[in-house]
Chain A
Amino acid sequence: EAGVAQSPRYKIIEKRQSVAFWCNPISGHATLYWYQQILGQGPKLLIQFQNNGVVDDSQLPKDRFSAERLKGVDSTLKIQPAKLEDSAVYLCASTPQGTGELFFGEGSRLTVL
């Protein structure tokens, strides 16, 4: 069974530029999460989708971050404009129905210069 796919693995941009990350969850997993993990910290939830609806986006900085999951399958997370403090690994995870084990992708490492 294929795991959670994410791209790109690495991205380096300058502040005020924009970036987009893509995630394809495990087939059949209804719940998809985007996490931000800053070096030395645990993952912080940015947004959670159930199918194509948003369940929780309370910690998403909506002035610069946006995310969508239009067809209830893959998802895109965008940052525009990026700030230095956005340098982090962006992890996508999925679960079958929002309970139990979280399956993570390998993450997208963002460096903002």
Chain B
Amino acid sequence: RKEVEQDPGPFNVPEGATVAFNCTYSNSASQSFFWYRQDCRKEPKLLMSVYSSGNEDGRFTAQLNRASQYISLLIRDSKLSDSATYLCVVWGSSASKIIFGSGTRLSIRP
């Protein structure tokens, strides 16, 4: 079993739709969780951190479920510019261990 698993997609949804991705992790001692966005042929950039209480940033909502060991990302009212690959990132039990998921590709169509 991979340490961090994501549905690779692609998710192809119309503009304005709501879309959600999950990411599961295997190490219950993992400390910190993030979502990064990676545009085609570009470097990953931090989208948002994921807090235990859940957090929202505009149209984006991230949640953590420690009991089931997954994090989620919800995008509301999707825009064409949201088309990208979304990478789940888990910091392990030691701060030095950072693991990336393989990414979920999202394509928003007009």
Contact = CB atoms under 8 A, between A and B. Distances in A.
Given A104-B43, A104-B45, A105-B43, A43 B97 contact: no
Interface residues of A, number: 21
A106 B45 CA distance: 10
Given A104-B44, A106-B42, A106-B43, A55 B96 contact: yes
A28 to B, nearest CB: 18
Interface string B68-110: 0000000000000000000101010001111111110000000
Contacts of A104: 43-45
Contacts of A101: 34, 46
B93 to A, nearest CB: 13
Contacts, number: 45
B43 A56 contact: no
Contacts of B89: 102
Contact of B43 (A33, A42, A91): A91
A75 to B, nearest CB: 16
Interface in A33-62: 33, 35, 40-45, 48, 50, 55-56
Contact of A41 (B32, B42, B102): B102
A30 to B, nearest CB: 12
Interface of A: 33, 35, 40-45, 48, 50, 55-56, 91, 98-99, 101-102, 104-107
- Report, nearest first, the 9 A-B pairs whose CB atoms are least far apart: A42-B100, A104-B43, A42-B102, A101-B46, A43-B100, A55-B96, A41-B102, A42-B103, A42-B101
